[in-house]
């Protein structure tokens, strides 16, 4: 496992990070003991960076992660959580709420500090409030030693970049945009570097879409997108390959970001994912999969209050 500094922070993060949303049953039910074992396997494999949020499973992911980390030397891992989002449509970026949210997260995670606190899905908040109220409140917590660094997360890269500069945050987390089907994060990387903003690359499997099993029902991708992903999975299977493996290899091995966050609640997946980091990418298979995904390349989807309304109208939520 290699480690890289996250922007100008002092966080030396593993190239592969543990995404804890599956510990909130976001991708389906799992046995808590298996989730705890997955966290321990990740630590043993050298993964030192864990990303979670109160939103995942309505606080369940933080609770399970806290249980998994109980008794582990706090100096051996880095913990990132989030504020501002408590439910699918429940956002509150007020200073009062986010300060309280951090205290609640610390209790659930069984720690005295978070290494990184992030405003969760900023496209659902008001930029001015985040700049003038949310981030200053989190900076106060930083001066009190409750959090070490402050970042933002979200889907639309232009909004993420603009807000990163306006709010002067330490990190951004972008998801599903440095993958086999979408490379838009690459175009922003140099600017984030110039601004001194650390970049976290999340969801290398496009939130489950780039797997044989496919994405969960709540996935915002179009029918066409999921059809292409299924074709890509078939193309891999025909030659004895695995789309998830190729997707992770591509995302983690070639990403311009400091770390790639993959979600899992299984030790077996952790082992497989760590192992494939050092295996060479099958270039022939990569070309075949890129051909399948070409019609949906860099298209993604929209995210924000208006897009949520559309999904509801279509009966997909
Ligand atoms: P992902 O692309 O990492 O995919 C996760 C899914 O892939 C899970 O169902 C998992 O079981 C499965 N998987 C993992 N390894 C596999 C393998 N080897 N073979 C087959 N399937 C495998 O999506 P994600 O979990 O949404 O993203 C990773 C993490 O990034 C999240 O858990 C979260 O911590 C973070 N994230 C944050 C935001 C945000 O802040 N807005 C958004 C997305 C993701």
Q: Which atom of ligand 1 is nearest to the CA of 204?
A: 2
Interval between CA 114 and ligand 1 midpoint (Å): 21
* Ligand 1: lining residues by beta carbon, under 6 Å: 19-22, 27, 51, 120-121, 153, 173, 175, 202-208, 211, 244, 261-264, 269, 272-273
Whole-angstrom Cα Rg for the chain:
18
In a domain, 301, yes or no: no
Separation of CA 208 and ligand 1 centre (Å) = 6
Domain housing 15: 3-214+244-281
Average pLDDT, the chain: 96
Burial class (CB in 10 A: 0-12, 13-18, 19+), 70: exposed
Predicted local distance difference test score (pLDDT) of residue 309: 80
Domain membership of residue 225 (yes or no) is no
Phi, psi at residue 118, to the nearest 5°?
A: -125, 140
- 317 pLDDT above the threshold of 80: no
Is 102 within 8 Å of 134 (Cβ atoms)? no
Ligand 1 mutation target, pool 65, 262, 273, 276, most atoms within 8 A of CB: 262
Note whether residue 289 is domain-resident. no
CATH number at residue 143: 3.20.20.100
Which has the closest alpha carbon to 18: 278, 206, 264?
264
Active site residues: 56
Residue 4: pLDDT band (50, 70, 90) is very high
Query: 124-171: per-residue pLDDT in tens?
Result: 999 999 999 999 999 999 999 999 999 999 999 999 999 999 999 999
Q: Are 221 and 179 in contact (CB under 8 A)?
A: no
Task: Check whether 283 has a pLDDT greater than 80.
Answer: yes
Q: Residue 294 Cα, ligand 1 centroid: separation in angstroms? A: 22
Asked, for residue 232, whether it belongs to a domain, the answer is no
Domain membership flag for residue 175: yes
Interval 174-191: pLDDT, tens: 999 999 999 999 999 999
Answer yes or no: are the C-beta atoms of 105 and 65 closer than 8 Å: no
Q: Is residue 199 part of a domain?
A: yes
Any idea which of 112-116, 259-263, 300-304, 310-314 has the lowest mean pLDDT? 310-314
Whether 36 has a pLDDT exceeding 80, the answer reads yes
Helices (H), the chain: 32-44, 60-69, 95-109, 127-129, 135-143, 157-167, 186-195, 223-238, 243-254, 267-275, 283-293, 305-313
In a domain, residue 29? The reply is yes
How many structural domains does the chain have?
A: 1
221 part of a folded domain:
no
Q: What tokens appear for 295 in the block?
A: 């019609």
Return the DSSP state at 147: B
Altogether, the residues listed in the chain come to a count of 317
Cα(46)–Cα(275) distance, rounded to whole angstroms?
12
Q: Is 244 exposed, middle or buried (0-12, 13-18, 19+ CB in 10 A)?
A: buried
Identify the residue whose C-alpha is closest to ligand 1 atom 10: 264
């Amino acid at each position: 496992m290699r480690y890289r500094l996250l922007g100008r922070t002092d966080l030396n993060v593993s190239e592969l990070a543990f995404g804890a949303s599956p510990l909130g049953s976001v991708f389906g039910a799992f046995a808590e003991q298996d989730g705890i074992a997955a966290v321990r396997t990740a630590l043993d494999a050298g993964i030192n960076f864990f990303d979670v949020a109160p939103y995942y499973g309505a606080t369940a992911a933080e609770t399970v992660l806290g249980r998994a980390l109980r008794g582990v030397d706090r100096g051996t891992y880095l913990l990132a959580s989030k504020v501002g989002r408590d439910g699918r449509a429940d956002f509150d970026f007020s200073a009062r709420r986010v300060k309280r949210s951090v205290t609640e997260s610390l209790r659930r995670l069984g720690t005295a500090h978070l290494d990184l606190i992030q405003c969760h899905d900023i496209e659902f908040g008001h930029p001015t409030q985040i700049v003038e109220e949310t981030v200053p409140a989190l900076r106060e917590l930083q001066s009190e030693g409750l959090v070490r660094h402050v970042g933002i997360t979200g889907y639309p890269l232009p909004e993420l970049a603009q807000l990163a500069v306006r709010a002067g945050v330490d990190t951004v987390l972008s998801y599903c945009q440095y993958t086999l089907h979408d490379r838009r994060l690459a175009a922003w990387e140099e600017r984030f570097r110039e601004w001194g903003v650390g970049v976290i690359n999340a969801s290398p499997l496009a939130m489950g879409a780039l797997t044989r099993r496919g994405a969960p029902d709540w996935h915002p991708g179009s029918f066409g997108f999921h059809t292409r992903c299924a074709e890509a999975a078939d193309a891999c299977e025909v030659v004895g390959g695995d789309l998830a493996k190729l997707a992770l290899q591509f995302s983690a091995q070639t990403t311009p970001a400091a770390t790639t966050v993959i979600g899992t609640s299984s030790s077996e997946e952790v082992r497989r994912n760590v192992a494939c980091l050092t295996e060479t990418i099958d270039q022939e298979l990569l070309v075949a999969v890129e051909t399948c995904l070409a019609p949906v390349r860099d298209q993604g989807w929209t995210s924000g209050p208006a897009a949520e309304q559309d999904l509801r109208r279509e009966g997909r939520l």
